[in-house]
Amino acid sequence: MTSPTVPTPTAHAVLRDAAERARLAPSVHNTQPWRFGLHGDVLELHADPSRQLAVIDPTGRQLAISCGCALFNARASLAAAGYQAEVTEFPDPARPDLLARVTLGARSHVWLPLAGLDGPIERRRSNRREYFGDPVAVEFRAQLVQAAAAEQAELRDLADLEQRILASRLTREATEQQLLDPAYRAEIRAWTSDDPRRPDGVQAMSVPRVAEGTDDELPLRDFDSHGMGWLPTRTHSAASQHLLLLCTARDTRPDWLHAGQALERLWLEATRQGYAISLFTQAIEHPASRARLRAVLGLAGYPHVLVRVGRAPATPASRRRELANLMLD
């Protein structure tokens, strides 16, 4: 008896699934600054400038990095469906918010490397809990460096304690400067919430409760603006932990989009192998601190994200807007 033939999904259906995975990407303050267009066999990724953070991201760098994370998720989804994504970045100079067009290449009959990163998309978290003291294997850190390089970015492994101390100090100094700015504090309040129905922003359930005298050596961003943080106060975030710095050779919008794809690729790889990640961008957001970071680390390129990697208890997932609310006509 002949088994029934399973119909091949249409290109439209495969690309819609890719958009569904893209919406689960990480983004600065969980702003989810993207929109999608689906026209026949073409998926478009658009930036949503209405969700740009005016205080910490006046250039739109973090918005573009966030959208790069979404683009990588779409590529991983297509690989899992058996397709090599064909991506055209910034295809229309007259439409600067159109960041990429994605179409399907020929269906592959062999396993595609990115396919293994589709599964971890739903398990990936920004983990702000205290990390265990387990060492992070040199071989694994090398894998993350290679993952970033595959996306035209450089991941600098800060293996030297002195470098980690410098990066931590600059993060702390930048954090202190930001907290003096009323506009910064207002922006944080606008994008944090204890409302379980809100589909965006940073939820109280995923941030540490802040108290006097509990400052960490490497400070996580204080999202406990309403005094409602659910997680334990102490995170013991420190320069002694494993830190990596994501950089690109230049500092243009295409580079930011590549940095986002590199960030999500290494993040999903870490998730697949049971590691937790938290991000620090305070020193990059503050122009003077960013310049000092480049100088003290002798960077030829431009830093975008400081990454802490290790083992940690599970943490809640961030909420997401429904795909139907992200689609353009």
What is the rounded average pLDDT for all residues in the chain?
89
> Could you tell me what percent of the chain has a pLDDT over 70?
88
Spatial distance between the Cα atoms of 128 and 329, rounded to a whole number of angstroms: 37
How many residues does the structure list for the chain? 329
Is the alpha carbon torsion for 145, 148, 152, 153 positive or negative? negative
Q: pLDDT tens for residues 129-158?
A: 788 888 899 999 999 999 999 999 999 999
Spatial distance between the Cα atoms of 7 and 40, rounded to a whole number of angstroms: 18
Q: In this predicted structure, what is the pLDDT of residue 225?
A: 56
Q: In this predicted structure, what is the pLDDT of residue 240?
A: 74
Cβ proximity of 153 and 259 under 8 Å:
yes
- The CATH classification number of 138-310 equals 3.40.109.10
Q: pLDDT tens for residues 232-275?
A: 455 555 577 899 999 999 999 999 999 999 999 999 999 999 99
Q: pLDDT tens for residues 67-107?
A: 999 999 999 999 999 999 999 999 999 999 999 999 998 88
Q: In this predicted structure, what is the pLDDT of residue 5?
A: 47
Q: In this predicted structure, what is the pLDDT of residue 226?
A: 58
Q: In this predicted structure, what is the pLDDT of residue 244?
A: 97
Confidence band of 329 (pLDDT split at 50, 70, 90): confident
C-alpha distances (whole Å) from 43 to each of 38, 249, 264 are: 5, 28, 19
- The CATH classification number of 11-123 equals 3.40.109.10
Q: pLDDT tens for residues 3-15?
A: 454 456 799 999 9
Q: In this predicted structure, what is the pLDDT of residue 219?
A: 72
Start-end of CATH 3.40.109.10 domains in the chain: 11-123, 138-310
Residues 27-36, mean pLDDT to the nearest whole number? 97
Q: pLDDT tens for residues 312-323?
A: 988 888 999 999
